[in-house]
Amino acid sequence: MHVPWSVRRGSFGSGYAVDPLTTALVFSSITALFIGPIADKARLHADVITSIVFPLNMALAFVFLTLSPEVGLKTDVANVLWGSVLSITYPDAVYLTSICATTLALIFLFWKEFFAIMFDRKLAEADGISTKPFVYFIIFLTGFVVTLSLKLVGGLLIFALLFNPASTTLQFSHDMKKIVFLSPIVGAITCVSGLFVSLFLDLPVGSCIVLVSTFVFALAVLLSPKRRRRRQK
């Protein structure tokens, strides 16, 4: 939580000749104030909202860094931190495709075990599922996928792709199968849209992807049929 705000302090504040500490305080206070209400409105845990706000702050920080001429980052470092989808090479694409196919195959094979564990690990154990190997495997797989996605959006913005599409889809469905199926599609659409926004506005790609996907999540919360109350006649 402190990383993006401190980065913001060094970006927006220094970029626009405003006291960095004041800027950091203002932004962190606004963010902290909104996490609770957004979590309630979106019917999501506060830690999920934090995971959405975290990359949003990072993305904005990087946009401000890019806009301020006196502050700069070395390209190599920036690529690891923020990612650069345009620097992806053919071997990278092969790796990503392989890991994507392997992940899909494993999810298909062990769907019912993952499904039961996601619902309640203790109950899954009580039903006779050995939960430990599956939980450890998911943690390992997440780490593996995150590492291979570094070039795409970077190590700090990856949270956006982990949380935003799933949280967006959750606003429209009560069915976990549909959520698992639709989340990657939403993720892909926001990535492509972010790429075009980046090309159009001449801003960093990773940041634009995060901004678009957060915008789509916010839109989903507002339009979600789950929160629509029926009018009593």
Site of interaction with another protein (CB under 8 A): 43-44, 109-113, 115-116, 119-120, 122-130, 170, 173-176, 179, 226
Cβ proximity to another protein, 146 vs 180, nearer residue: 180
Q: How far is the CB of 186 from another protein (least distance, A)?
A: 15
Does residue 9 contact residue 20 with C-beta atoms inside 8 Å? Answer: yes
Q: How far is the CB of 32 from another protein (least distance, A)?
A: 22
Upper half-sphere CA count for residue 125 (Cβ side, 13 Å): 7
Q: How far is the CB of 85 from another protein (least distance, A)?
A: 30
DSSP characters over 188-207: HHHHHHHHHHHHHHT--HHH
What does the alpha-carbon distance between residue 60 and residue 40 come to, in Å, rounded to a whole number?
24
Q: How far is the CB of 131 from another protein (least distance, A)?
A: 10
Cβ proximity to another protein, 162 vs 210, nearer residue: 162
Cβ proximity to another protein, 19 vs 120, nearer residue: 120
Cβ proximity to another protein, 69 vs 225, nearer residue: 225
How many residues appear in the chain?
Answer: 233
What does the alpha-carbon distance between residue 233 and residue 229 come to, in Å, rounded to a whole number?
12
Does residue 116 contact residue 176 with C-beta atoms inside 8 Å? Answer: no
